[in-house]
């Protein structure tokens, strides 16, 4: 893969790197994306499965769907894209991964600074008393996920449409985007806000913004460099390029 001179220069001088990731980085692990060819939202209605209204209307259906997604995650592994971000973190200590993914694959790969903007599918809590519930410890009554402490409905700790992002994760993500001198936007369609605003926050603060996506996206216009290809191929090439440049970190 040809790495453009602007990116080679940025790899040589960068000291603060942040990476925003979306479903695309997990696609090569076998985790379906949302809006891709066989994307989840092509087959199913987001408002029915990823909203509080949908959950209250049919908690058994929504719980079953998350159980199905958790079962997929039991069978998959982080891929070369996730692992490349761990390698980049060794080259750029303090690298921050800001993910929209709820699959936990960045941590499983070994990334140490991960902000999960949309939550994590392995965590659950009671909608009434807040009691945390590991997925395996939820009582089902007619398929409805019930709290073992108060009998309330248990929901996955993921951010549904119309809900606020976790405050600390969001604030830290904005901080890291503003501070970055190199910002990677990997495997996201850039359609869901406020996460999709972060590459613009970074660009406006002076970072070199790099998009990694086999396809054009609304973020392409905001990117200084667009690398067209799957993350599992592009990111290892980026690591090789970073290892090959003579580092002269900007003061
Ligand atoms: N490598 C890199 N990018 C890829 C790959 C790959 N192997 N395969 C697909 N892509 C790209 C697609 O071209 C698309 O632009 O990844 C993007 C995935 O887009 P979406 O499916 O819309 O996923 P994402 O951007 O993460 O969605 C954002 O929407 O549904 C909500 O909460 C959910 O976090 C999610 C949010």
- Do residues 137 and 202 both lie within one domain? no
- Do residues 97 and 182 both lie within one domain? yes
Number of domains the chain contains = 2
108's CB contacts (< 8 A; 6+ apart) are 77, 78, 82
Give the domain CATH number at 61: 3.30.1600.10
- Do residues 113 and 129 both lie within one domain? no
182's CB contacts (< 8 A; 6+ apart) are 10, 11, 14, 16, 17, 18, 92, 207, 208, 210
How many angstroms is it from 247 CA to the middle of ligand 1?
32
DSSP 3: P
- Do residues 137 and 200 both lie within one domain? no
CA distance linking residue 113 with residue 119, whole number of Å: 15
Whose structure tokens read 């809006």?
A: 35
Q: What is the pTM of this model?
A: 0.96
Q: Which of 68, 82, 106, 118 is catalytic?
A: 118
What's the pLDDT score for residue 204?
A: 98
- Do residues 96 and 194 both lie within one domain? yes
How many angstroms is it from 22 CA to the middle of ligand 1?
5
* Structure token digits, residue 113: 């600074």
Q: Does a structural domain hold residue 249?
A: no
- Do residues 186 and 235 both lie within one domain? yes
Q: Is 118 a catalytic residue?
A: yes
Q: Does a structural domain hold residue 223?
A: yes
- Do residues 86 and 176 both lie within one domain? yes
Domain span at 62: 36-74+124-158
- Do residues 90 and 152 both lie within one domain? no
- State phi, psi for 90 to the nearest 5 degrees: -70, -35
Q: Does a structural domain hold residue 93?
A: yes
Within 6 A (CB) of ligand 1 lie 22-25, 27-28, 33-36, 39, 100, 118, 187-189, 191-192, 212-215, 217, 230-231
What's the pLDDT score for residue 39?
A: 73
How far are the Cα atoms of 66, 113, 158, 168, 249 from residue 184, in angstroms, in the given order?
A: 29, 15, 23, 21, 18
Q: Which atom of ligand 1 is nearest to the CA of 195?
A: 28
- Do residues 136 and 219 both lie within one domain? no
Q: Which atom of ligand 1 is nearest to the CA of 34?
A: 21
What's the pLDDT score for residue 45?
A: 77
Q: Does a structural domain hold residue 250?
A: no
What are the strands of the beta sheet with 225-227, ordered from one edge?
114-116, 96-99, 17-21, 182-186, 208-212, 225-227
3-class DSSP assignment, residue 231: helix
DSSP string, 110-124: T-SSEEETTEEEEEE
- Do residues 68 and 147 both lie within one domain? yes
Q: Does a structural domain hold residue 251?
A: no
CA distance linking residue 115 with residue 111, whole number of Å: 10
- Do residues 177 and 218 both lie within one domain? yes
pLDDT means per 10 residues, the chain with 251 residues, are 95 97 97 78 78 94 93 96 98 98 98 98 96 91 94 96 96 98 97 97 98 96 97 98 86 58
Give the domain CATH number at 99: 3.40.50.1220
What's the pLDDT score for residue 42?
A: 67
């Amino acid at each position: 893969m040809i790495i453009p001179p602007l990116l080679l220069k940025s790899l040589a001088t960068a000291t603060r790197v942040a990476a925003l990731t979306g479903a695309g980085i997990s696609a090569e692990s076998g985790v379906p994306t949302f809006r891709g060819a066989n994307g989840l939202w092509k087959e199913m209605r987001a408002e029915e499965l990823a909203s509080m209204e949908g959950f209250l209307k049919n908690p058994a259906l929504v719980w079953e769907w998350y159980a199905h997604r958790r079962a997929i995650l039991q069978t998959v592994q982080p891929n070369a894209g996730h692992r490349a971000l761990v390698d980049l973190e060794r080259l750029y200590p303090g690298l921050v991964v800001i993910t929209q993914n709820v699959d936990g694959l960045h941590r499983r790969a070994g990334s140490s600074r991960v902000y999960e903007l949309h939550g994590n599918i392995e965590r659950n809590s009671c909608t009434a008393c807040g009691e945390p519930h590991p997925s395996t410890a939820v009582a089902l009554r007619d398929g409805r996920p019930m709290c073992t402490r108060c009998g309330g409905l248990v929901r996955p700790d993921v951010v549904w449409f119309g809900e606020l992002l976790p405050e600390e994760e969001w604030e830290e993500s904005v901080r890291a985007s503003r501070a970055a001198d190199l910002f990677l936007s990997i495997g996201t369609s850039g359609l869901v806000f406020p996460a999709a605003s972060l590459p613009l926050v970074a660009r406006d603060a002076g970072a070199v913004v790099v998009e990694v996506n086999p396809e054009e996206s609304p973020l392409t216009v905001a990117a200084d460099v667009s690398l067209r290809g799957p993350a599992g191929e592009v990111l290892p090439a980026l690591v090789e390029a970073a290892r090959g440049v003579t580092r002269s970190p900007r003061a």
